[in-house]
A and B are shown apart, each in its own frame.
Chain A
Amino acid sequence: MFRSLLGKALGFVGYTIQYGCIAHCAFEYIGEFVVCSGPSMEPTIVSHDIVFSERMSRHLYKIQKGDIVIAKSPYDPTMNICKRVIGLEGDKVLTRSDIFTSHTYVPKGHVWLEGDNLRNSTDSRSYGPIPYGLIRGRVCLKLWPIHTFGPLGENPNKQIVKSCKESD
């Protein structure tokens, strides 16, 4: 009797480990659900929206300009930030301040992120370009609220970015 109970307990543990590993692989390589908070991506994403971010683009290094990404914060690795990619490595990004404008080159292996709500967003304009390795996933679908279900919109701001490939 004890032996069958032990057998059942081991079987239960085995199944838990197996399904736990499958869940880890799904969240790590396919995609995860993210609850966003904060005003920095309005009007595209507002606070308390639920979005789905897929991981494959990040593992295959296919993040493009204009994608909304979830990344680890460069100043606090336990916090995540949700911003739009404005420039990739090698691009020249125009940073506009109240008085003057200046250009920044995005170094190799880095990306330039900005929130859609330019007035209320701490992004690469304050902390500079962030390494590509900090990106976790690309937001591809908004799930909640239901009436805004679907893919996310384009960048509402017109940013001028000269790509090194277009300048020829």
Chain B
Amino acid sequence: MSQARSSGRRYLKAFVSGFFVAVPVTVTALDRFAYVARVEGASMQPSLNPNGSDSDVVLLNRWSVRNFQVQRGDIVSVVSPRNPQQKIIKRVIGLEGDFIRTLGYKNRYVKVPDGHFWIEGDHHGHSLDSNSFGPVSVGLLHGRASHIIWPPHRWQRISPALPPNRGPLDTARTKTDPVCGHHSYG
């Protein structure tokens, strides 16, 4: 009887000490390094969730955004400025200082202020993004979607690419220039 009790107590001690190691390490890893999220909704079609029925699961890289550095064309997850309990996944179209021609915003042309960026969903018209609430503060940036990890037939690395005809207006590019994923911005 006493032997069962002492082994039970040993088991409990091992469980509690393992718990105090596993929980902080997991929470720190999720906060600082990587996060896994299921994408809901159709606002990023056809890049994410191309069929309405299946939801993609993406890997969010939190380490690469620790200094708030993002590129145009990245898919990022951001705390929603309308609802702080929700995170939205959109593509970065413009960074601070860019001039953007908007689709449905109250001003036709917008200069993105310091410390903000302009995000849009790929499926225009079905997306609650900067065209509704304006430029978003970079402090709300949560993570950068780097890979699609589920379903297995959609395993791929997500590379930054601006959609055609969406991007900052700058004097060096005209509307007829093709936009490719490797275009570098000086």
Which residues of A are interface residues toward B (Cβ below 8 A)?
A: 17-18, 20-22, 24-25, 28-29, 61, 72-78, 107-110, 130-134
Contacts of A28 in B (CB 8 A): 27, 31
Contact code string B32-73 (vs A, CB < 8 Å = 1, else 0) = 100000000000000000000000000000000001100000
Q: Give Cα distance in the complex from A99 to B114, angstroms.
A: 29
Residue in B31, B80, B83, B114 whose beta carbon sits within 8 Å of that of A24 in the complex: B31
Q: Give Cα distance in the complex from A24 to B23, angstroms.
A: 12
Contact code string B61-99 (vs A, CB < 8 Å = 1, else 0) = 000000110000000000111111100000000000000
B141 close to A (CB within 8 Å): yes
Whether A77 and B139, one on each chain, are in contact in the complex, defined by CB atoms closer than 8 angstroms, is yes
Known interface pairs A28-B31, A109-B80, A132-B84. Does A74 touch B25 (Cβ–Cβ under 8 Å)?
A: no
Contact code string B111-132 (vs A, CB < 8 Å = 1, else 0) = 0011110000000000000000
Whether B27 and A21, one on each chain, are in contact in the complex, defined by CB atoms closer than 8 angstroms, is yes
Q: Give Cα distance in the complex from A29 to B27, angstroms.
A: 10
Known interface pairs A18-B24, A108-B82. Does A73 touch B115 (Cβ–Cβ under 8 Å)?
A: yes
Residue in A25, A77, A130 whose beta carbon sits within 8 Å of that of B24 in the complex: A25
Q: Give Cα distance in the complex from A22 to B23, angstroms.
A: 9
Residue in A20, A107, A134 whose beta carbon sits within 8 Å of that of B140 in the complex: A134
Contact code string B1-24 (vs A, CB < 8 Å = 1, else 0) = 000000000000000000011011
Whether A109 and B82, one on each chain, are in contact in the complex, defined by CB atoms closer than 8 angstroms, is yes
Whether A110 and B81, one on each chain, are in contact in the complex, defined by CB atoms closer than 8 angstroms, is yes
Whether B84 and A72, one on each chain, are in contact in the complex, defined by CB atoms closer than 8 angstroms, is no
Whether B84 and A109, one on each chain, are in contact in the complex, defined by CB atoms closer than 8 angstroms, is yes
Q: Give Cα distance in the complex from A61 to B86, angstroms.
A: 12
Residue ID in chain A nearest B136 by CB atoms: A131
Contacts of B84 in A (CB 8 A): 61, 109, 131-133
Residue tally, chain B, CB below 8 Å to A: 27
Shortest beta-carbon distance, B68 to chain A, in Å? 5
Residue ID in chain B nearest A78 by CB atoms: B68
Q: Give Cα distance in the complex from A38 to B137, angstroms.
A: 23
Residue ID in chain B nearest A71 by CB atoms: B139
Contacts of B23 in A (CB 8 A): 25
Q: Give Cα distance in the complex from A29 to B82, angstroms.
A: 23
Contacts of B21 in A (CB 8 A): 18
Whether A17 and B137, one on each chain, are in contact in the complex, defined by CB atoms closer than 8 angstroms, is no
User: Which residues of B135-154 have CB atoms within 8 Å of chain A's CB atoms?
Assistant: 137-141
Shortest beta-carbon distance, B37 to chain A, in Å? 16
Q: Give Cα distance in the complex from A55 to B122, angstroms.
A: 35
Contacts of B28 in A (CB 8 A): 20-21, 24-25
What are 23 A-B pairs at a CB distance below 8 A?
A17-B25, A18-B21, A21-B24, A24-B32, A25-B23, A25-B27, A25-B28, A72-B139, A74-B115, A74-B137, A75-B116, A77-B115, A77-B141, A109-B80, A109-B81, A110-B81, A131-B137, A131-B140, A132-B84, A133-B81, A133-B140, A134-B137, A134-B140
